[in-house]
């Protein structure tokens, strides 16, 4: 028997597999047994109703997806009245993903979703910060500190802070988020990217640019997850480009405690369930009885020497 349980702060998950926000909804329950998952992560909600960005919102790029959905939302009241009761049918922790334009808006929304039935709140700070000229909160340590401190003071639920790959200060942002009160980090959201139709010479997305997800993002997100896991004491949840069990294993070896799967679900709705089964098979074949025995086992002792060699080689 393989023990797949993992701990994310005070939450104990029966396994490390969960959806990435924006790629999971109630309709998926008609296709797979979502009760098998380690956690349920809702589509990101906002306090107010939102229509989302202009179409087209999605295009395919080199086997990956470029999206500019714009976080359409039915608002927090609809979420509390309809979404939470649906997921509470399952014996699976419900993680509510939230987004807002300012740190004060984040704090207010965080307080509103601190209700029975919600096990944790995922704070999507990869969205534009109106108070900082539209730059994403997670781009800068200072903005990250402000928003995380405010949401921390507004709720006693576990806070998972979702970071952005669009920063050059990955570790600094991670450390500040931890210090400001995050209970876990989700690494990472999509990367800002663009695609142009060479026939019409127009951007392929209605909002010009969007977020890149899927296999193309994995090496970047994996690097970030490794850096964060090495730098912080709180758990890191890996997210980005996961489509097979081998991707999951890479993230676990890099040091994450759980993973979120997104784009692959659009390709094959049963991906999460298949990967969960494959993960158990892999660990059994490797005679690994406990998931924790593989987490953070990357052999990186010679990393510094290798980098020095490459920099000094003729």
Between helix 170-180 and helix 218-231 the angle, nearest 10°, is 50
Catalytic residue among 59, 110, 127, 228: 127
DSSP annotation string for 121-189: EEEETTSB-GGGTT-BGGGSHHHHHHHHHHHHHH--S-EEEEP-TT-S-HHHHHHHHHHHT-SEEEE--
| Sign of the C-alpha dihedral computed for residues 275, 277, 279 and 281 taken in this order | negative
Helices (H) and strands (E) in the chain, counts: 10, 16
State the Cα–Cα distance between residues 31 and 28, nearest whole angstrom: 5
Q: At what angle do helices 141-154 and 103-112 cross, to 10 degrees?
A: 30
Cα 188 from Cα 165, distance rounded (Å): 6
Nearest to 14 by CA among 310, 279, 308, 300: 279
127 is catalytic: yes
Single out the residue of 181, 259, 184 nearest to residue 15, CA to CA.
259
For the chain, strand residue ranges (E) read 6-8, 11-13, 17-19, 40-41, 58-61, 64-67, 94-98, 120-124, 159-162, 184-187, 191-194, 196-197, 202-203, 209-213, 236-239, 258-261
Q: Supply the residues annotated as catalytic.
A: 127
């Amino acid at each position: 028997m393989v023990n797949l349980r993992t701990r994310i702060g005070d939450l104990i998950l029966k396994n490390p597999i969960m959806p990435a926000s924006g790629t999971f909804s109630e309709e998926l329950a008609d296709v797979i047994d979502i009760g098998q998952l380690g956690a349920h992560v809702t589509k990101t909600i906002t306090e107010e109703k939102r229509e989302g960005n202009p179409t087209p919102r999605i295009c395919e790029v080199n086997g990956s997806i470029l999206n500019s959905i714009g976080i359409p939302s039915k608002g927090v009241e609809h979420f509390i009245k309809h979404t939470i009761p649906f997921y509470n049918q399952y014996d699976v922790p419900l993680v509510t993903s939230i987004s807002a334009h300012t740190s004060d808006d984040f704090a207010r929304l965080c307080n509103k979703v601190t209700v029975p039935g919600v096990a944790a709140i995922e704070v999507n700070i990869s969205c534009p910060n109106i108070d900082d000229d539209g730059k994403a909160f997670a781009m800068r340590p200072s903005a990250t500190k402000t928003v995380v401190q405010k949401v921390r003071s507004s709720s006693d639920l576990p806070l998972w802070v979702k970071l952005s790959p669009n920063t050059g200060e990955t570790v600094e942002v991670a450390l500040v988020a931890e210090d400001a009160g995050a209970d876990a980090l989700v690494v990472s959201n999509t990367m800002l990217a663009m695609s142009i139709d060479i026939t019409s010479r127009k951007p392929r997305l209605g909002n010009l640019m969007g977020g890149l997800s899927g296999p193309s993002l994995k090496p970047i997100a994996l690097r970030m997850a490794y850096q964060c896991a090495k730098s912080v004491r709180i758990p890191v949840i890996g997210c980005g480009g996961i489509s097979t069990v081998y991707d999951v294993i890479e993230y676990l070896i890099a040091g994450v405690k759980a993973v979120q799967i997104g784009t692959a679900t659009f390709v094959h709705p049963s991906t999460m369930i298949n990967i969960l089964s494959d993960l158990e098979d892999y660990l059994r074949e490797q005679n690994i009885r406990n998931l924790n025995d593989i987490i953070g086992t990357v052999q990186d002792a010679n990393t510094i020497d290798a980098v020095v060699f490459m920099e000094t080689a003729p």
